[in-house]
């Protein structure tokens, strides 16, 4: 036994996949080794499929490039974005695990105020495994956390909470700003460690960022579609936002909770604000119509599965946002294709279809 | 000039009153001297009026006991609770300032993680003077704070924010738990300093605690009625909760924001959980009906002043909660009396009525 260290089994080791969209070698994984090494990775290559992505030794992964996506989905591959990190949602679709953690390849391990490295994944898992409180705000934040509870005036009938579907983590260093804010405040860094996890209340929308995000795939997976972005599309950098708004409307309808706050990751580099401005331009403009649309969206009580909710939402997108721009008609169709592809891959007979590149330990 | 230190004028010195309900000598003010000394205090004595309350030297204050309340309000004094800190709202009524800060006499100056004393009042004022964001959740919390901003995906049309009506501060050490939680967790202390201020979203209710609370009296004062509690009433410890629910429904209707989070005070002693259990019993039970009532409450668009909103809410309380218990019929009447008294004291000719005990610098 000399020289061999026995590592403790991390939480949900066999029930969670880590999904990483990338266009480059995954050297960033070195820093995450102590936290990710025992989990399975799904890497989705978002650019030129002829390029080889190097993954550090010792990681257990499967990798999909555009050719794989086309082969696996056939004509339905049209719903998966190309040359944009929005393609990460393909990884959600091919995963067979109950939980997903997705992280960008420019995100590193952050430190808490005591200087300790933050195990982001462990915190996400804690967030997902404990209930949410979407119906009433608890002023001491997460009541299920050690050292906290529900405060005076919190109805007892609501203290059981709701099942948590999504855990949205934050970023130290480079904040997730849009291009105009990046341009105006190029030097702003997020240095504030806010030691809290809280539930985004029912009926409230928030900007969901895909950089550091975990969710219960079994519950909400089919709503985590990152839309049509990047190559051939008039918009970028709204993939995670789109997913977040759709997902939130559906979680509110289904009675599930969405948390935001801890854990932090260290976001290392700001993307180019000029490039971003071009990608975001239409999104910034359309957003003014999107938010009222999602705020007003109501799903009929006949929608009892996420798939049904999502198809209904696609119908409403086509009907109401199609007037804003024809892009939303195309997007609504892609939303339907996404659900068809999801159901196809997630039925019992689909397994033989998948033959990714990768290694298995 | 030798020996005299010139103190800088604190924020809103002549536009803010500090309201303190008490039954004892106000020695706790010694610790607050550097922060409160230049402000005017309104002390509301909530017990036996024959008892003398000692106020440390050097504070500028007016003090009202039950006899003063009866003399000033006449028969309308019935709306002000006796032998309960709910009487503090009388102080809001007699104030002539734009802003109110109210604090309990068992609350002391807390320290931030760097060990510095927290100027709670200054933080409340910052919260009140900067806008709120009730329509969309910002994941980096207060976007108006230094070092923060709106994140990607936050609609630009909403970045101007809403006027802030209320700033709800928190407590280190003894958390504000109800009697059952106090009994179950007698040793729990709040040690977590969460460095955030956030807006309670539109449509979301929260448990507002009156221990450490500031508000814009000119905007929302008439909705800050602390109800009928204490002597002769079947309920206690729901005064601030009641005010918070009424206030929130009205702020949502009027388009104003409510913040919670920083600043912390140090809450020194837990009240007796057995006594609290008796006071709270009915509240804990009724609360299960109150929350759905307030969640569903809609104010007609004809209500354009806080007074109109409040009278309308009183009508709905009588109609819907009167069925839960006759207490709510009495409370609804008291809500109307409160507004009548408020308008009487806050019209132009009322000033001669007020002759409190106290000192003026």
Q: Does residue A256 lie in a domain region?
A: yes
| CA–CA gap between residue B71 and residue B336 (Å, rounded) | 19
pLDDT at B351 over 70: no
Check whether A302 has a pLDDT greater than 80. Answer: yes
Check CB contact under 8 Å for A194 and B190. no
Residue A358 domain-assigned (yes or no): no
Work out the minimum CA distance from B24 to partner chain A, whole angstroms. 24
Q: In this predicted structure, what is the pLDDT of residue A361? A: 37
Token code pair at residue B120: 């709670």
- Asked if omega into A197 is within 30° of 0 (cis), the reply is no
Global pTM? 0.94
Answer yes or no: is A102 within a domain.
Answer: yes
Does the pLDDT value for residue A136 go beyond 50? yes
A1 has pLDDT over 50? no
- Picking from B152, B177, B200, the nearest residue to A137 by CB comes out as B200
Q: How many domains does chain B have?
A: 1
Q: What is the pLDDT averaged over residues A345-360?
A: 58
What is the rounded average pLDDT of the residues A177-199? Answer: 97
Rg (CA), chain B: 20
Q: pLDDT, tens digit, for every residue of A78-100?
A: 999 999 999 999 999 999 999 99
Using CB atoms, which residue from A151, A207, A238 is nearest to B154? A207
pLDDT confidence of residue B360: 40
* Per-residue pLDDT at A347: 87
In a domain, residue A10? The reply is no
Q: How much is the average pLDDT of B227-251?
A: 97
A42 vs chain B: nearest CA distance in angstroms? 26
Q: What's the CA gap between B46 and B64, in Å, rounded?
A: 9
Q: Return the minimum-mean-pLDDT range out of A9-18, A44-53, A205-214, B4-13.
A: B4-13
pLDDT at A290 over 60: yes
Rounded CA separation B250/B306 (Å)? 7
The tens digit of pLDDT for each residue in B247-288 reads 999 999 999 999 999 999 999 987 899 999 999 999 999 999
**From A145, which residue of chain B is nearest by alpha-carbon distance?**
B192
Cβ count near A132 (within 10 Å): 28
Residue B6 has pLDDT above 90, yes or no: no
Q: How confident is the model over B223-230, as a mean pLDDT?
A: 97
Place A358 in a pLDDT band, splitting at 50, 70 and 90.
low
- % of chain B beyond a pLDDT of 70: 95
Mean pLDDT across chain A, nearest whole number?
94
The whole-angstrom distance between B206's CA and the closest CA on chain A is: 5
Q: Is A195 on the interface with B (CB under 8 A)?
A: yes
% pLDDT > 70, chain A = 95
Of A137, A178, A196, which has the smallest distance from its Cβ to B152's Cβ?
Answer: A178
- Residue A150 touches partner B, C-beta closer than 8 Å: yes
Q: Is residue B250 part of a domain?
A: yes
CB B343 within 8 A of CB B305: no
The answer to whether position B303 is within a domain reads yes
Q: Length of chain B in residues, anyone? A: 361
Residue B136 with chain A: CB contacts under 8 Å? 204-207, 291
Predicted local distance difference test score (pLDDT) of residue B348: 65
- pLDDT for res A356: 52
Q: Does A148 touch chain B (CB under 8 A)?
A: yes
- Report whether pLDDT(A351) > 70: no
Instruction: Locate the chain B residue with the closest alpha carbon to A291.
Output: B155
Examine residue A4 and state whether it is found in any structural domain, yes or no.
Answer: no
Question: Which positions in chain B touch A280 (Cβ < 8 Å)?
Answer: 152
The answer, for B155 touching chain A at a CB cutoff of 8 Å, is yes
B208 at A interface, C-beta within 8 A? yes
> Which residues of B, range 327-356, sit inside 8 Å of A by Cβ?
none
Q: Which of B115, B139, B252 to mutate to test the interface with A (most CBs of A within 10 A)?
A: B139
Least confident of A33-37, A173-177, A305-309, A348-352: A348-352
Q: Which two structure tokens, joined as six digits, stand for B335? A: 């809500």
Higher pLDDT among residues A341 and A9, named by residue: A341
A356 assigned to some structural domain = no
Residues A307-323: tens digit of each pLDDT: 999 999 999 999 999 99
Q: Choose among A151, A204, A284: nearest Cβ to B156.
A: A284
- pLDDT at position B270: 79
ipTM of the complex as predicted = 0.93
Range of the domain at B164: 16-348
Report how many Cβ contacts below 8 Å link chain A to chain B.
174
Label residue B164 by pLDDT band (50, 70, 90).
very high
Residue B25 has pLDDT above 90, yes or no: yes
pLDDT-based confidence at residue A7 (cuts at 50, 70, 90) = confident
Cross-chain residue pair A209–B152, CB shorter than 8 Å: yes
- Decide if pLDDT at A6 tops 90: no
Query: Once rounded to an integer, what is the mean pLDDT over residues B50-61?
Result: 97
Q: Which of B31, B36, B32, B49 lies closest to B87 in space, CA to CA?
A: B49
Nearest to A240 by CA among A271, A283, A269: A283
What pLDDT shows up at residue B357? 53
Asked if residue A348 has pLDDT above 70, the reply is no
> CATH number, domain at A49?
3.90.550
pLDDT tens-place string over residues A125-134: 999 999 999 9
- Burial of residue B148 (CB within 10 Å: 0-12, 13-18, 19+) is buried
């Amino acid at each position: 036994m000399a020289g061999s260290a026995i590592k403790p089994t991390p939480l949900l080791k066999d029930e969670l996949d880590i999904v990483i969209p990338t266009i480059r070698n995954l050297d960033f994984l070195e820093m995450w080794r102590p936290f990710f090494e025992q989990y399975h990775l799904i890497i989705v290559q978002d650019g030129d499929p002829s390029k080889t992505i190097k993954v550090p030794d010792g990681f257990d992964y499967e990798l999909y490039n555009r050719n794989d996506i086309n082969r696996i989905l056939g004509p339905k591959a049209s719903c998966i974005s190309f040359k944009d990190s929005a393609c990460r949602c393909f990884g959600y679709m091919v995963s067979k695990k109950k939980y997903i953690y997705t992280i960008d390849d420019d995100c590193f391990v952050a430190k808490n105020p005591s200087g300790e490295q933050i195990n982001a994944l462990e915190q996400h898992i804690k967030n997902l495994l404990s209930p949410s409180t979407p119906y009433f705000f608890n002023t001491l934040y997460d009541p299920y956390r050690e050292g906290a509870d529900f405060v005076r005036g919190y109805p007892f009938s609501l203290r059981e909470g709701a099942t948590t579907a999504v855990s949205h983590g934050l970023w130290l260093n480079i904040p997730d700003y849009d291009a105009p804010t990046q341009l105006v405040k190029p030097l702003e860094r997020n240095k504030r460690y806010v030691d809290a996890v809280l539930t985004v209340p029912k009926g409230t929308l928030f900007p969901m960022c895909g950089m550091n995000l975990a969710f219960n795939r079994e519950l909400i997976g089919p709503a985590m579609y990152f839309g049509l972005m990047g190559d051939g599309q008039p918009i970028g950098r709204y993939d995670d936002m789109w997913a977040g708004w759709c997902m939130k409307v559906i979680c509110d309808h289904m009675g599930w909770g969405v948390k935001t706050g801890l854990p932090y990751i260290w976001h290392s580099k700001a993307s180019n604000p000029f490039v971003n401005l071009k990608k975001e331009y239409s999104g910034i403009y359309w957003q003014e119509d999107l938010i009222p649309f999602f705020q007003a969206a109501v799903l009929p009580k006949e929608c009892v599965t996420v798939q049904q909710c999502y198809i209904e939402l696609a119908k409403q997108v086509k009907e109401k946002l199609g007037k804003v721009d024809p892009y939303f008609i195309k997007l609504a169709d892609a939303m339907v294709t996404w659900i068809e592809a999801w159901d196809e891959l997630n039925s019992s007979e689909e397994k033989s279809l998948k033959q990714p590149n990768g290694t298995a330990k």
